[in-house]
Amino acid sequence: MKITYNQIKDEIKEVSLLIGGSEQFVPGILENFKFVLLPLVLYSIFFSLCPFGEVFDLNLWCALGVMSIFFWYFAARFFYGFGVIFSMLPKGAFEKYQVIKIVTDKARIYYIVWIVAIVIAGLLSVFTIFNVLSLAVITLLSTIMLGIAFNLDISRYQISGLFGALAAAKEKWNQ
């Protein structure tokens, strides 16, 4: 999907004005948890299967279990932040603005790749000697690498988006 920098600037200006005057309700704290639920369930299933694998170290398993709670907390906060931003938009905005379509499509692709990475890590944890270590390390590293890749991918739109948001702020200020 091709888009010009000027088109991004103009659309972000309109979107910023929509967000600034949003009449939408603030989402609940668990409302956007659904995006984290599938990866969390997959991770938990594989994590609970690890003791039945070939090699099992109870201390390592328990320590990684405690650490994974913090990992999933931060992953949930990340998705919640995006959900809050998108919840401020009216329903028709997702069809009208091309830049929103691009961002949501990219987020969907990275989400699917993340799910696949968790499944691969889970299968390695159940069927190899690395057990829970592979699950925790691969999930953590794939999340970090995908987060960085997503930010680099989206950064191509950020400068012109910033100018659009500044234009919207200037217009709002002058009213």
pLDDT digits (tens, 9 = 90+) for 120-162: 988 988 888 777 888 888 888 898 899 899 989 988 888 888 8
Query: Is the pTM higher than 0.75?
Result: yes
For residue range 68-115, what is the model confidence (pLDDT) as tens digits?
777 777 777 777 777 778 888 888 888 889 988 898 899 889 989 989
By the 8 A CB rule, do 57 and 131 touch?
yes
**32 has pLDDT over 90:** no
Q: What is the pLDDT of residue 119?
A: 92
**Burial class, 34, CB count within 10 angstroms (exposed 0-12 / middle 13-18 / buried 19+):** exposed
Of 68, 54, 60, the closest CA to residue 136 belongs to 68
